[in-house]
Amino acid sequence: MKVEFSPSLMCMDFLKMEEQFNILNDKVDMYHIDIMDGHFCKNITLSPDLVKTFSKVAKKPMDVHLMTTNPTDWIEKVAEAGAEYISPHAETINGDAFRVMNMIKSLGCKTGVVLNPATPLSYVKHYLNRIDLLTIMTVDVGFAGQPFIEEMLDKIKEAKELKEKYGYTYKIQIDGSCNPKTYKRMYDAGAEVLIVGSSGLFGLNEDLNKACDQMFEDFNRAIAE
């Protein structure tokens, strides 16, 4: 199984944005863009305007992760800005999840949903057949550098089992602490897309080309053990 890599753009060097995109476009599979409203989680990061800027240089699909209390306030904006996947949190949409999924599809985007660590997979079971990207948080939302939550391996395994049992087509994406210490366990559990931030990519080397090469080397070595 080929695992895809999706750099978390909140971790990139914005002073070298175009240069870094030129490197990443040839190396990675997707881009992960966190939008936080300071309310759903106590932090504020990227914005629809930045998504629009990224779209001018990004040559791989952009997944916009809406860590926002009212995701429907943001969906149309990020779709217009160039998002290919739009991933709101299940905790914020389950009152109108089917309308939200239809809204995302109607804008020409792929549907995603994100689960916080304490939210069980059963919370979204009635619309798993409608989503393209299932993101499992392996840290609590809002801040980089948190420790990996071991209990999430069971959730990843469950997502894989359901996908195989019912023929679902979603990709299983992991958000949080994806690095050499966790690669093998995530891979063995069924992870298909790894979101890499400082510990998995950007902090490995000041030269992003070398950092990417190191990331792939770290992953291949980890899963071979």
> Are 204 and 225 a contacting pair, CB within 8 Å?
no
Q: How far is CA 73 from CA 9, 66, 68, 79, 85, in A?
A: 22, 10, 9, 12, 16
142 is in an annotated binding site: yes
- Is 190 one of the annotated binding-site residues? no
> Please, what is the Cα angle at 193 between 146 and 70, to 5 degrees?
65
Question: Is 63 one of the annotated active-site residues of the chain?
Answer: no
**Strand locations in 37-149 (E):** 62-67, 85-88, 110-115, 133-137
From the list 34, 63, 132, 218, the catalytic residue is 34
**Residue 145 labeled ligand binder:** yes
Both tokens assigned to 206: 């000041």
176 assigned to a ligand binding site:
yes
CA torsion, points 209, 213, 219, 225, in degrees to nearest 10? -160
Instruction: For residue 58, say whether it is annotated as part of any ligand binding site.
Output: no
Annotated binding residue 39: no
Find out whether 47 is annotated in a ligand binding site.
Answer: no
Query: Is there a catalytic annotation at residue 34?
Result: yes
Choosing from 63, 132, 175, 218, which is the catalytic residue? 175
Is 8 annotated to bind a ligand? Reply is no
- 82 is known to lie in a ligand binding site: no
Give every CB contact of residue 166 below 8 A, 6+ residues apart in sequence.
Answer: 128, 129
Binding site members? 32, 34, 65, 142-145, 175-177, 197-199
Q: Which residues are annotated as a binding site for substrate?
A: 65, 142-145, 175-177, 197-199
- Residues at the binding site for a divalent metal cation are 32, 34, 65, 175
Active-site residues: which are they?
Answer: 34, 175
